[in-house]
Amino acid sequence: MADQDRRRTVSAWRPRVPGVVEVFHAHYTEYAYPMHVHDAWTLLIVDDGAVRYDLDRHEHGTPHDTVSLLPPHVPHNGSPATPDGFRKRVLYLDASRLGDDLIGAAVDAPDLRDPVLRRRVGQLHASLALPGDELEAESRLMLVGERLHAHLRPRGEAGPARRGDPVLARRLRELLDERTVRGIGLEDAAVLVRAHPAHLVRAFSGAYGIAPHQYLMSRRVDRARRLLLAGRAPADVAAATGFYDQAHLTRHFKRLVGVTPGRYRTSGGGRH
C-alpha cells in the first residue's frame, strides 16, 4: 500500500471563485478509476502521459494537446494510456458555467482539439493557484466558458455579443476605481452594470487594451509605490492596498516594477 501511495500524488482545493467546485491536480502511474459519476462538469487537461477512458460506452483518449470535458451524471472511468502514467489538472465546474442542456453535445464529443482553449485552461489553473488573484481567475473562467459554449452549442446559435462597449467598459473601470482596495468579483460587477460577465471582460479589454484584473492590480501597485516611498513596511502596504498578503504584493509588484517592494523602498525607488 505504501508503495502504491508513492506512485500517486494529489493536490485538491476549493478556490474562492464562483462556479469552481474543486481544483484537482494528480500524478498517477498505475491507478485506474472505476466507473463513476460526478454531479459537476469535469474539465481535464493532461500535462504528461495520456489517459484512456470510457464515456457512454465509447472509448476516448487525452493526447497532450486535448481539452476533455466530461458532463455530469454520465458514468466514466479512467486509466493510464502510457507506461509512466499521467499527470493531469482538473476543474470541476457547476451548472452556472455549463447547463444540463449541453450534456448531450459533450457526450458526443468530449475531447476538444483546440490550442487556444488548452492555453486558456492552463492560464486559469495558474491563476487559481494564487490566493488574491480571484478576479483574474474569474475573468479567465469566463473566457474558457465562452469557448466551451462555442464548441457545444448547435451550429448557427448565436453566442454572447463580442463587440466592444465603451460605456460598459467605463462603468466597470469606475467600479474598479471605487473598490481598488476591497476589490469586486466579476459576477457582482456584472450584476451592478447589468451585463453578461463574459461580455463585460471583452468590452473592458477591447476599450482599454488590458483585462480588468490587470487594471485592478496596476492601480493597487501604484498605491503601494506611494506608501512604500512614504516609509511604510511592505507587510503593512500589502494590507493597505488590497493584496492578499505580502507575497501577493511582491509577485505583482515585481512583475510591474521589476524589483521587490522591499528593494524599491530602501533604494530610493522611483527616481528614474
Single out the residue of 178, 185, 45 nearest to residue 122, CA to CA. 45
List the strands of the sheet with 41-49, edge to edge. Answer: 8-13, 20-28, 86-93, 41-49, 67-70, 111-112
**Tens-place pLDDT, residues 170-213:** 999 899 999 999 999 999 999 999 999 989 999 988 888 888 99
Give residue 7's pLDDT band: very low, low, confident or very high (50, 70, 90): low
Tell me which amino acid residue 241 is.
T
List the strands of the sheet with 58-61, edge to edge. Answer: 33-36, 76-80, 51-55, 58-61
Out of 1.10.10.10, 1.10.10.60, 3.40.50.1370, 3.40.190.150, the CATH code matching 221-266 is 1.10.10.60
Single out the residue of 165, 173, 187, 186 nearest to residue 218, CA to CA. 173
Rounded mean pLDDT, 29-54: 84
**Tens-place pLDDT, residues 69-98:** 999 888 788 888 888 888 899 999 998 888
Rounded mean pLDDT, 25-38: 79
* Domain 2-152 indexed as CATH 1.10.3720.10: no
Within 13 Å of residue 254, how many CA atoms lie on the same side as its CB?
11
* Summary mean pLDDT of the chain: 85
Which has the higher per-residue pLDDT, 77 or 47?
A: 47
Of the given ranges (12-26, 118-132, 231-245, 256-270), which has the lowest mean pLDDT?
A: 256-270
**Tens-place pLDDT, residues 130-176:** 888 999 999 999 999 999 999 998 655 544 444 457 899 899 989 99
Of the given ranges (26-40, 196-210, 225-239, 241-255), which has the lowest mean pLDDT?
A: 26-40
pLDDT value, residue 125:
96
pLDDT value, residue 164:
54
Any bridge partners for residue 46, and if so which?
88
pLDDT value, residue 267:
61
Residue 272 has pLDDT above 60, yes or no: no
Residue 10 has pLDDT above 90, yes or no: no
**Tens-place pLDDT, residues 113-136:** 999 999 999 999 999 998 889 999
